[in-house]
Structure 1
Amino acid sequence: MLRLEPIELFLRAIPESFLAILAVYIFSNTPINKKKYIITSLIGSCVFFGVRMLPIDYGVHTILAIGIIIIISVLINKIDIIKAIKAEFIYSIFQFIAEGLNIFIIQNILKADMNKVFSNAVLKTVYGLPSLAILGFIIFLYYIITLKKDELINV
Structure 2
Amino acid sequence: MFKLTCIDFFFRTIPETFILIYGMHIIAQKPVNLYKYILSSLILSILIFFIRKLPIYFGVHTDICIMLTIIIVAFIKDIPLIKNVLGTFLLYFMLSLSETINMLLLDGLNINTDISVLQPLTRCIYGIPSLITFIISVIILRFILKNKRVIPNYF
Indicate yes or no: 2:80 matched with 1:80: yes
Is this contact kept in 2: 1:17–1:48, CA < 8 A?
A: no
Deviation at 1:2, TM superposition (A): 2.2
TM value normalised by structure 1? 0.89
More helix by share: 1
Indicate yes or no: 2:114 matched with 1:115: yes
CA distance in 1, matches of 2:99, 2:13: 15
Q: Per-residue CA shift, 1:51-82, capped at 9, x if unaligned?
A: 11111000011111111011000001111111
CA distance in 1, matches of 2:115, 2:65: 27
1:153 alignment counterpart: none
> Between Structure 1 and Structure 2, how many residues are aligned?
149
TM value normalised by structure 2? 0.89
2:51 alignment counterpart: 51
Is this contact kept in 2: 1:2–1:54, CA < 8 A?
A: no
Q: Sequence identity of aligned pairs in percent?
A: 32
Indicate yes or no: 2:133 matched with 1:138: no
CA distance in 2, matches of 1:73, 1:115: 32
CA distance in 1, matches of 2:134, 2:26: 13
Q: Per-residue CA shift, 1:76-123, capped at 9, x if unaligned?
A: 111111110000000011111100000000010x21022378532211
Indicate yes or no: 2:115 matched with 1:129: no
Indicate yes or no: 2:15 matched with 1:15: yes
User: What amino acid is aligned across from residue 94 of structure 2 in structure 1?
Assistant: F
Runs of at least 5 residues in structure 1 that lack an aligned partner in the other structure: 151-155
Q: Secondary structure at the match of 1:115?
A: coil
2:105 alignment counterpart: 105
